[in-house]
Amino acid sequence: MNVRQSIVSEKKIHNDISFEDTHVAFSYKSDTDLWKSYLLFASINRNWLVNSGTKLIRFALKTGLPIDPLLKTTLFKQFCGGENVEDCEKTVQMLFRYHVGTILDYSVEGEKTEEAFDETEKETMETIHKAASHHDSIPFSVFKTTGLASLELLEKVSLSLNNPTILLSAEEQVMFAKLVQRVDNICKTAYQQNVKIFIDAEETWIQDAIDELAYQMMAKYNREKVIVYNTYQLYTLAGLGKLKIAKEMGLEKGFRIGAKIVRGAYMEKERARAKDLGYADPIQPNKSSTDKAFNDALVFCIENKAMIDFCAGTHNEQSSLFLVKLMEQHHIAKNDPGVWFAQLFGMSDHISFNLAKAGYNVAKYVPYGPLKSVMPYLFRRAAENTSVAGQSSRELGLITKEVARRKRAKGKL
């Protein structure tokens, strides 16, 4: 059977993995924390409540109403590790007890000043040094390029890469030089500390500039081993093609490829912008096309593993099982250092903890930052759980199942 046709069903899963095992998925949660998660996802499961709640929270934060304690014990606790790196230590150690790594993600966004960009660089450096001293428990660091430069600058650079007649102003050239220096400082430090670093993907209209930076860094720091990872969004029509071009570029220029394979996170925004500006929609036409592209990317990485290290960032059970099967078919060890699974903290614990228990390399993205600064991230998580078909219902169903299991277990004591 062609590997691409071998989509694994949950019924055929191996004896050492079951994504239905809620005992493994939620072992780290106390009964109180499990109930808090239940109430949170029960709320998120109601679209109208997410929309109205988001508006109320924005109003409360803007007017200074004292809602910080409520947010810290609900949304923030579910999806974030703390307000600074030190706050995340408890989460790092908890995950490590269950053989799950941590990816510390400084999730402050929407800043526009050079001072803020310098602060993001400093914070990213701190996560690299933290990872260097905790190699087993913190296998990766990560940054968003929009944390280091403005979206407007990245858009202009992307346009100039595709149209030689578009030139950066003298001021823009200075700002771009600062961005290149920040990115190089981060990647050079990661190389020196032997820490793998993800460069997150962002909107398609700024992605060309990000890709260009990523490949410059790979050419410098991925010659002996993979340090720098670019991110490929397979819900874009161009995602798989970009991955294949990267491989050819690496062969030609003598560097290895680091690839984080994801579906993507900006679909509504991408479609709306394409429609408003009158250009072709860059997003796959439907979910099945996205799923196929994602799985094809996994096949491509496995078949070219000699020069590609990769991480499958996915909350999709079938894609996770598909990669498990691929690894078996190609005789790749479960703990091969060049293959990782990753999910967001607070979501898809049934995938993360069950894969980790079975011996696969798994890490959780653990966002952190000052409460008010990470609210845009938290609003996206709430909206994502509402908009992604079945996501909040799946989370709620698994938590409900575990609550019932614990009740039965106590009844037998």
Question: Which pLDDT band holds residue 389 (cuts at 50, 70, 90)?
Answer: very low
pLDDT class of 13 with cuts at 50, 70, 90: very low
Whole-angstrom CA distances from 94 to 32, 91, 411 are: 17, 5, 28
- Stretch among 75-89, 194-208, 318-332, 347-361 having the lowest mean pLDDT: 75-89
Selected from 3.20.20.220, 3.40.50.720, 3.40.50.1980, 3.20.20.70, the CATH number assigned to the domain covering 3-19+81-380 reads 3.20.20.220
CB 374 within 8 A of CB 107: yes
Q: What is the mean pLDDT of residues 185-200?
A: 98
Distance (Å, rounded) from C-alpha 148 to C-alpha 340?
Answer: 26
Percent of the chain at pLDDT exceeding 90: 74
388: left (phi over 0), alpha (psi -120 to 50) or beta: beta
What is the C-alpha to C-alpha distance for residues 114 and 18, in angstroms, rounded to an integer? 48
- What is the pTM for the complete model shown? 0.91
Distance (Å, whole) CA 344 – CA 365: 5
Q: Say which residue the tokens 């993205």 belong to.
A: 365
Quick one: which of 124, 137, 50, 132 has its CA closest to 95? 137
Confidence (pLDDT) at 58: 65
**Residue 336 tokens, joined:** 């091969």
Predicted pLDDT at 108? 79
The DSSP line for 349-396 is HHHHHHHHHTT--EEEEEEES-HHHHHHHHHHHHHHHHHSTTHHHHHH
Q: Where are the domains of the chain?
A: 3-19+81-380
User: What mean pLDDT value characterizes the chain?
Assistant: 89
